[in-house]
Amino acid sequence: MVTVEIPADMELVYKRPQSLTETHTHYCPGCTHGIIHRLIAEVIDELGIRERTIGIAPVGCSVLAYYYFNMDFAEAAHGRAPAMATGIKRVSPDRVVFTYQGDGDLAAIGTAEIIQAANRGELFTTIFVNNAIYGMTGGQMAPTTLPGQVTTSSPTGRDVETAGFPMKMAELLAVLPGAAYVTRQAVFDPRGIHRTRAAIKLAFQTQLAELGFSLVEVLSTCNTNWHMGVVEALEWAKKHMVAYYPLGDTKVSDGVRALMETR
């Protein structure tokens, strides 16, 4: 073991959040799931709610999230995390509940569950990782796959004539009165990462203040199934994903606005 002397006049500006376990993740090198995990953990640390937070992992590449977050966790059936979260939150209203879901999970098989939970204004938070593909099953088309994007199930590129246009979930969910805070962010560079962190924090605060349902859509990459280099994937995403999926808040309820202003 190497012990490193930290000079006395150095102060800690970044350390592993307590809300993450020590376990190494199984994610591919450069996968943005890791960044998003970290941001959530940082926010939970900052809000001091780790010991009363219950997370729900989806089926998708982040299916093992429960090994990485240092808190109570459940693993949902594919797409059903919002229903499970509803069940948990309704019987444990003083706990903080969040779901972590991919785009196949949330925007395909789980469409009904997320829309209805949002509409009911369920008091949990959803972190929605949009990487425009089904990562875990090896790169099939997701509801969010961009027009023309090649995947294993759209081998000649997504054909909007037969598969429809990519779904803008943040815009769709914003229509529902039960949704108090809905935003879209991206973790393609440090600035975006900082903003995403702030958004995640606001989402959890929305929950803590019982203002309604909150969701942060995070544009992400999947270099492996996009068949790109890590940096190339970020560049591609910045160029193409952000063009289709505009960043920013799609829904800020009055309550949330008040919250924003008091910060």
Interaction residues for Mg ion, span 15-74 (CB under 5 A): none
- Residue 46 near residue 201 (C-beta atoms within 8 A): yes
Alpha carbon distances (Å) from 239 to 125, 143, 158, 228, 246:
28, 19, 18, 14, 11
* Shortest reach from residue 75's CB to ligand TPP, in Å: 11
Q: Does 203 bind another protein (CB under 8 A)?
A: no
Render 49-101 in DSSP notation, one character per residue.
Answer: -GGGEEEEE-SSGGGGHHHHBSSEEEEPPTT-HHHHHHHHHHH-TTSEEEEEE
**Pair of tokens at residue 185:** 């962010």
Going residue by residue from 133 to 172, which x/- string records binding to Mg ion, judged by CB under 5 A?
Answer: --x-------------------------------------
Q: Rule CB under 8 A: choose which of 138, 148, 164, 246 binds a copy of itself.
A: 164
Q: What, of ligand SF4, another protein, ligand TPP, none, does residue 105 touch, CB below 5 to 8 Å by kind?
A: ligand TPP
Q: Rule CB under 8 A: choose which of 121, 140, 198, 238 binds a copy of itself.
A: 121
Q: Does 78 bind ligand TPP (CB under 6 A)?
A: yes
Torsion angle, CA of 40/26/229/151, rounded to 10 degrees?
-90
* Shortest reach from residue 259's CB to Mg ion, in Å: 30
Interface stretch with ligand TPP, choices 49-57, 101-109, 167-175, 188-196 (CB under 6 A): 101-109
Q: What, of another protein, Mg ion, a copy of itself, none, does residue 14 touch, CB below 5 to 8 Å by kind?
A: another protein
* Shortest reach from residue 119's CB to ligand TPP, in Å: 16
Question: Which C-beta is closer to another protein: that of 92 or that of 160?
Answer: 92
Q: What angle, rounded to 10 degrees, do the helices at 81-91 and 111-120 form? A: 30
Among 229, 176, 194, CA closest to 29: 229
Render 91-153 in DSSP notation, one character per residue.
Answer: H-TTSEEEEEEEHHIIIIITHHHHHHHHHHT-S-EEEEEE-SSBTTTTSB--TTPPTT--BTT
* Shortest reach from residue 14's CB to ligand TPP, in Å: 26
Question: Which C-beta is closer to another protein: that of 85 or that of 179?
Answer: 85
Q: What, of ligand TPP, ligand SF4, a copy of itself, none, does residue 171 touch, CB below 5 to 8 Å by kind?
A: a copy of itself
* Shortest reach from residue 172's CB to another protein, in Å: 14
Cβ atoms within 10 Å, residue 195: 17
Q: Rule CB under 6 A: choose which of 20, 44, 61, 96 binds ligand TPP.
A: 61
Which residues sit at the interface with a copy of itself, rule CB under 8 A?
108-112, 115-116, 119-121, 143, 160-165, 167-168, 171-172, 175-178
